Structure 1
Amino acid sequence: MAEDLVLDRAIRDWVLIPLSVVMVLIGFLRYFVSKLMRSYQTPDRKVVKEGQVVLRARNLRVAAGFIPTKSFWSRRVYFTNEENGLLHVPKEQAQNPQAQMFSDPNMAMDMMKKNISMIVPQTLTFTWVNFFFSGFVAAKIPFPLTHRFRGMLQNGIDLSTVDVSYVSGRSWYFLNLFGLRGLFSLILGEENATDDAQRMMQMGGFGFDPTKSLSAEKDSLDIIQHEWILPKMEKRAEDVLKKLLK
């Protein structure tokens, strides 16, 4: 049977609140440090051009029903022609993003700066939390949970008799690490440098590959079934007008 614990107020004052405040302050500090370390890169003309082509093709695909069939087919050939279509990417011109990163030292340097600005503060913070707050029961969630959440909420506490709704100090650190994303986005904006969850997913990547976007948009434009909806709209408007006049 799970045991109910009575949490001391000193744990709230010396563990829960300080840990939350420190995580918020570290997030703000890392944001400004990342802005100082960020280097300006001149936009690649080829990447900008391909992005505009993808945007134009996407607008054509979305608004295809508002133009006549002949006009749509001529525009689709203009984009998807295998010889000189704007969306056609020859195999010999497709560049590996990994090779692009190694060929551009600025891209590799920026990736290293971003990883350092995330790894170093979080390593120091986790060491601090693990040394001072490991083994503490910091808080209690006000609703019941199943035993599957025990490993996530009670990291560092090896007691199976404690109710699952209790949160350890180490688990509270991880909850703040991934749960403060909404707060930072609200205060610092959507394009902030404190999104640890997104960074962890991007650490193994090698940048954006515009050729994949061109190929994907070409495939989407090839399979679309065109249907001009304006004549049907005129007929529908006539039917509605006739019903109103009756």
Structure 2
Amino acid sequence: MTVKAEQDLYLDPSIRDWVLIPITLIMVLVGVLRHYVTLLLNSPPKKQPAAAVREQRALGRAALLRATAPLSPLPPTQYRSFSTSFAAALSSGEYLKPSIKKEGDDAAPANPFDNGQMDTMMEGMKKQGVMMVPNMVIMQYINVFFSGFVLMRLPFPLTAGFKSLLSRDIPMPDLDVKWVSALSWYFLNLFGLNGVFKLILGSNNSAVDTRDLTAMSSLSGAGAGMMGGPGQPDMSKLFKSEVENLALAEGMYKWVGDGIENRILKSFNKL
């Protein structure tokens, strides 16, 4: 059996100074620039009508009452009173905002591409552009000027399955998998600088590409059974679902003050 000798290449230090380090710095600077450009492109929140705010607050109060049911600070009489009144109001549509319909348009479907929806689509497209354009420019730049460059050698062994990731632009099938090419180094920085961006810009930054991929997730039409249009929830269906959840929460209700006397006496070793 023949043992393959370990490959030993000698790299010019200029490759480290003029290729390896600049690519890393460019990727960091582009991520920081993407973060601040995204902040500039974000539209300020629009003022919602009072009826829409009332609708959302009612749903939020019902959800809060349901979430605190397993250990509720409300006494049993007060909790059941709140739960019953919320269920009745949600079932009757008391908190639903009035729908504006013109005469003769009762059977006409709602237009999903209203002004608010178009603004959401445009904002998602702008974020996608901020993500894609710099990446395309940098990848083309590296592919043209540094194609086939071997930049570094990893100090730990890897299996052959990593060769397509680390040496994708080097046509040498016998090259050791530990050698990293310029294009592969770009992709490693693209998906591996998330921790650096969190240290520099904080956890809620816009420099990470995976966060921008969800910019238009609300436009996909998922969950259409609960939606009145793309990105618009059907509040009447949500209210009906919340009524059922409140009924289930009553079975899990437990007052936090139940047996408080015995617990206090037990804490002082009086029982």
Q: TM-score when scaled to structure 1?
A: 0.75
Superposition deviation, residue 17 in structure 1: 0.3
Q: CA deviation at 1:239?
A: 2.2
Aligned to 2:211: 198
Q: Please tell me whether the aligned partners of residues 141 and 167 of structure 1 are also in contact (alpha carbons under 8 angstroms).
A: yes
Match of 1:21 among 25, 28, 31: 25
CA contact (8 A) 1:139 1:166 kept: yes
1:75 to 78, 82, 85: 82
Task: Pick the aligned partner of 1:6 from 4, 9, 15.
Answer: 9
Check conservation: 2:124, 2:215, Cα contact below 8 A.
no
How big is the alpha-carbon RMSD for the aligned residues of Structure 1 and Structure 2? 3.7
Please, which of 126, 134, 155 is the counterpart of residue 121 of structure 1?
Answer: 134
SS at the partner of 1:99?
Answer: coil
Partner of 2:47: helix, strand, or coil?
Answer: coil
Instruction: Determine helix, strand or coil for the equivalent of 1:223.
Output: helix
Out of 137, 153, 159, which is 2:150 matched to? Answer: 137
- How far residue 124 of structure 1 moved from its aligned partner, in angstroms, is 0.8
8 Å contact from structure 2 (residues 166, 185) kept in 1: yes
What residue identity is the alignment partner of 1:107? T
Question: Which whole-Å CA distance do the structure 2 matches of 1:216 and 1:13 have between them?
Answer: 64
- How big is each residue's C-alpha offset from its partner over 1:136-193, in whole Å with a ceiling of 9 and x where there is no partner? 2323333333334333333323444434333322122122122223322332334433
Q: Are 1:84 and 2:99 an aligned pair? A: no
* Equivalences, count: 237
Displacement of 1:196 in angstroms is 1.0
Alignment-derived partner of residue 226 in structure 2? none
What whole-Å deviation, never above 9, does each CA across 1:7-43 have from its counterpart, x for those lacking one? 5223221221010011112222233333344433413
C-alpha distance in 1 between matches for 2:5 and 2:46: 60
Distance across 2 between alignment mates of 1:7 and 1:210:
61
User: What is residue 92 of structure 1 aligned with on the other side?
Assistant: none
Name the CA distance, whole Å, in 2 between partners of 1:151 and 1:68: 64
Q: Which has the larger radius of gyration?
A: 2
Partner of 1:228: 255
Local SS of the residue matching 1:6? coil
Q: Quick one: distance in 2 between partners of 1:14 and 1:160? A: 26
- Structure 2 residue ranges without an equivalent (≥5): 97-108, 220-229
Taking the TM superposition and a 5 Å limit, the aligned residue runs for 1:19-168 are 19-45=23-49, 48-64=53-69, 65=71, 66-81=73-88, 82-84=91-93, 99=112, 104-168=117-181
| Distance of aligned partners of 1:231 and 1:78 in 2 relative to their CA distance in 1, 3 Å threshold | same
Counting helix residues as a fraction of each chain, which structure ranks higher? 1
Deviations 1:77-107 (A, max 9, x none): 34444333769xxxxxxxx9x9256763322
1:90 aligns with none
My pick for the range that moved more, 39-48 or 190-199, is 39-48
Q: Contact conserved, 2:128 with 2:215, CA < 8 A, in 1?
A: no
Whole-angstrom distance in 1 between the partners of 2:53 and 2:139: 40
Identity %: 34
Structure 1 counterpart of 2:178, which letter? S
TM-score when normalising by structure 2: 0.69
Q: Unaligned 5+ residue runs, structure 1?
A: 88-95
